[in-house]
Structure 1
Amino acid sequence: MQVVEAFMKYIELGGYVMPPLVVCTLGLWFGLGYRFSAVQGRGLPPRRLLEMALAGELTRPVGILEQGAVIGARLSKDFRGRLDRELEVQFHPLRVEVGRFRRLTGAIVGIAPLLGLLGTVSGMIETFDSLGDMTLYSQSGGIAGGISQALLTTQFGLAVAIPGLILKGLLDRRQTTIEIQLQELKALICGEGAKRVHHE
């Protein structure tokens, strides 16, 4: 209870900008958590994953690449027609999944410092208004309240944005790697399909 009360007091001191920042924090960490789970996998190269899928060893694929390997193994055995086009269609949902919430997290990382800056400006306005009246404390906060709002919103905005920016960068690189590996997997599957056609 004391932690909750302290947090609510913190939000109150920060002024009207703090609730949107709290919403941004929740949205950011939800998006980052979802993206983190989406890029998980066994860490094996595409060739090895395809070999496992063709051998029936990937009964429970745990990542995007594993799912792609299973789809590719099935198509390389059964599909008749332009395998590359069919793989492009089948892999599209996987690419969408691995990139889900990328724009949301990027937008929040950009918005959070601006919200903090807005709170800083509002706090400084309150401070200067109170200096004109020589009011240390008032119903709206006074000098002390204005300074507190200016500092807290800046702090909170940066506290949301900086970790989010770092983690987003790491996840973006992992997403790019997976997309490249999907292309490599597609090439390997097309090769397997060509071998099957040749043997037939």
Structure 2
Amino acid sequence: MNLSELIILIKELFVAGGIVMPPLVLCVLLLWYGLGYRFWVMKTPKLMGVRDMLQYYQQHDDHPAKNIVAQAIKQGIALKKKGVRNLRRHLDAAFYAYEREIGKFSVLVRVVILISPLLGLLGTVIGMIETFDSLATMTLHSQSGGIAGGISQALFTTQMGLTVAIPGLLAHSILNRKQHQIEQDLAQVKDLLCHQTHSHHATQTKSHSQ
């Protein structure tokens, strides 16, 4: 398909969808931009458990971090080495940037998924109104397809709205599960680092008392 054929196809889609096609196309662009960004941020898989990753980066702190959890572990280890007071509060502040990053565009994607079928339904209602108005003046019978053709054209926008929403909903659900898993991993990193710090302080206190 060359460029001219693609332009003609897009024009036909806009004509078939009517007034709601521009916002539906905008929804498609926003939806897949948001999903693509979230996928890119969370795309690198975690190859080992959080405990193993923490132990690994404590022994090899010069190795690059390949995913968000690894980046958070390296930053947490750096804070622990500094000996900051109230490590939990510093970890919460440091990890907030990672939690915000993996949740970015989540609300936008959810809104687009919700409004796309409604836009499609609105286009169908508008198309049905135009169909029955044409039927009242008997102008629809002069067009190819008659009443069935007019109703088919009206239902096109509903089909488009569902075509946008259903794949987006599935991809959004998968990414949400991955986000939830990363959030759990980050919480586990905080717990492990704070537990190590408390254990280290307790050992030092016990040795000083002896």
Query: Normalising by the residue count of structure 2, what TM-score does the alignment of the two structures yield?
Result: 0.86
CA distance in 2, matches of 1:190, 1:82: 9
Matches within 5 A, 1:58-137: 59-136=63-140
Runs of 5+ unmatched residues, structure 2: 205-210
| Distance across 1 between alignment mates of 2:64 and 2:154 | 52
**2:167 maps to what in 1?**
163
Partners of 2:26 and 2:149 in 1: CA distance: 23
Determine helix, strand or coil for the equivalent of 2:92. Answer: helix
Distance in structure 1 (CA, Å) of the matches to 2:120 and 2:26 = 13
Structure 2 residue identity aligned to 1:185 = V
Percent of aligned pairs with the same residue?
44
Residue 116 of structure 1, CA deviation: 0.1
Q: TM-score, normalised by structure 1?
A: 0.90
- Give the Cα–Cα distance (whole angstroms) in 2 for the partners of residues 137 and 196 of structure 1: 86
Distance in 2 separating the partners of 1:7 and 1:89? 48
* 1:42 positional shift: 3.6
Single out whichever of 163-172 and 44-53 deviates more from structure 2: 44-53
> Residues of 2 paired with 1:58 and 1:32: CA distance?
32
Aligned with 2:156 (options 148, 152, 157)? 152
Q: Does the alignment pair 1:13 with 2:16?
A: yes
The answer to whether the Cα contact below 8 Å between 2:140 and 2:150 also exists between their aligned partners in 1 is no
Aligned residues of 1:136 and 1:143 also touching (Cα < 8 A): yes
Structure 1 alignment gaps of length 5 or more: none
SS state of the match for residue 61, structure 1? Answer: coil
Cα deviation digits, residues 102-125 of structure 1 (max 9, x gap):
110000000000000000000000
> 8 Å contact 1:24–1:112 — kept in the other structure?
yes
TM-aligned CA distance change 1:96 to 1:58, over 3 Å: farther
Distance (Å, rounded) in 1 between the aligned partners of 2:165 and 2:100: 25
Cα RMSD after superposing both structures:
2.1
Q: 2:53 aligns with which of 43, 49, 54?
A: 49
Q: 1:4 aligns with which of 4, 7, 10?
A: 7
* Whole-angstrom CA distance in 1 between matches of 2:112 and 2:141: 34
Deviation at 1:23, TM superposition (A): 0.3
Alignment partner, residue 31 of structure 2: 28
Query: What's the CA shift for 1:67?
Result: 1.2
Shift, 1:11, TM fit: 1.6
Q: Distance in 2 between matches of 1:163 and 1:184?
A: 32
- CA contact 2:38–2:102 (8 Å) conserved in 1: yes
Which has the higher mean CA deviation after the structures are superposed, 42-51 or 87-96?
42-51
Distance 2:201 2:25 in 1: 57
1:188 aligns with 2:192: yes
Ranges of 4+ aligned residues in structure 1 off by more than 4 Å: 142-146
> Which deviates more from structure 2 when the two are superposed, residues 108-117 or residues 35-44?
35-44
Larger radius of gyration: 2
